[in-house]
Structure 1
Amino acid sequence: MVNIRNLDPSASPLDYYGSELRRLREEAGLKQGQLGDIIFCAGSLVGQIETARKVPTRAFSDRVDAALVTGGVFSRLVGLVLRSQLPTWFQAYAEMEAKAAYISSFQAQLVYGLLQTEEYARALLGVDRPGQVDELLAARMERQQILKRDNPPALWVVLAEAVLHQEVGGRPVMRDQLAHLLTFLDHPWVKIQVLPFSIGQHTGMMGPFNLLRFDSDPDLFYEEGYADGYMTANPSVIRERSVGYARLQAAALSPEGSTQLIARVMEERYGDKPEPDGRGVA
């Protein structure tokens, strides 16, 4: 049955997307199932997106643009839709992250979001919000689009060695995640350093934090708590944390040495070993 739920296009980006999808589909003289056949999905999915019951992906948006010859309307709109699925307290940071010219990140427990694989992110997001995993995952993957721009931000990430050893999603997922980090070795705009256990106490033990720099706006400092985030442009905080980040960079292994450590942990901890039930892990 065709879902005819009415939407208020001004209610949210998702509602606006759904109303525009319905309007342009109907203008093209297509039923939901017919459009679904053209873009290789179920007509029910088209209906769920048109009624704001399901969040569209970038791939879905690209196919709809091609099918309805929209000139890229949905491919442009989907970024806004996906950012709106992020936790409210995180949306302001995500918007500034997308505008930054230079991103510095220290992570004590997790791989930075812009460098996560889909399965690693899925495992993390499923812990507290199992019913929203697909939407949150799509939003996190959308954040990574900034690294694919013609003029991406420079990204420098310092990871505590514990990040490499904290198993997320199982050994195969961790192996793929560490392999993904290795692909950035020769990336012109992304550098990764690992802060080894042997360094002992360090300024990052207060917790993870990010510094954002812009071409014409003040620098920003951001740190994330359990249920919210704190962002400030206070010059004294920026100065203190910038010095702290420089100390972390100086104490960490070089990008080349970090690559060697990541590769070693990947093989020794997440390589081909039998699981407790006797099965091997690829």
Structure 2
Amino acid sequence: MTQRPLASLSPTDAAPRATETSAARLSALRARLVTQAMEVIPRKHLSFGVHAVDGCLPGGGLGLGHLHEIAPEAEGDEPAALGFALALVARRLAEVPGEALLVLAKGHPMPYGHGLAGLGLDPDRLLLFEAGNDLDAYRALEEALRTGTGTSSGGLAAVAGLVDAGLPLIQSRRLHLAGGRTDRLLLVLRPVGADSPNVAATRWRIAAGKALRDRFGCIERPCWRVRLARCRNGRMGDWLLEWDHAAHRFGLAGALAGHPPETGGRGTGPGQP
């Protein structure tokens, strides 16, 4: 059988073959890119596990690699704000391998092991760094974000900083840029009354809630009045949340214990570390 040379093929013979070949190659390339994206792109959000909260956040949770600001609602709520921040860190560590870094500016008390364990946070997975001032604290946070590749290599899964003043615009931009290259949870806890313009994706205001206690009067589940004061591309909200340290999950107050959610105002029991 004599095979016709390509030059002798009519346009009606060659065009369909070329079209079929191009379509097949394009389809294969798309499939390959989708597969690579599924393998490389890590999870980009940390869910609270509470529909009412996650529904207000773009993507259904806290954006990983984005900067999030946490502050006490009023004087005396500092332990509550710290407890809430550490609960978020504990939830992140429960999902992925690696460690968390907590950077403390001068004047902040050092968390102790028993309090951390009470929040479900393994002290062996928490690195503590004491900085001389806020500037050093921000430098340490930025350096930590630029080091390693995050949870994919078993490195840092979360980075949190405790500062003495507000979160400045310049430092927030630098942290935002450095965090955007990672899949790490990034939190900055600042004191009450230190509001300042910044690029944080969310701003949280935390107060102590009436905690569930056991028959001995000991706190069984920390409880916080949580107010989402700002959320880029999302909605604001106000909730009373409980924390189950064993399951590493949040719940509307009362729901975890099987009784109607609480509707009262502030109480005692900040769930401090």
Bin the TM-score by the shorter chain.
under 0.3
More strand by share: 2
Judging by fraction of residues, say which structure has more helix.
Answer: 1
| TM-score normalised to structure 1 length | 0.25
Asked which structure has the greater CA Rg, the reply is 2
TM-score (normalizing by structure 2) = 0.25
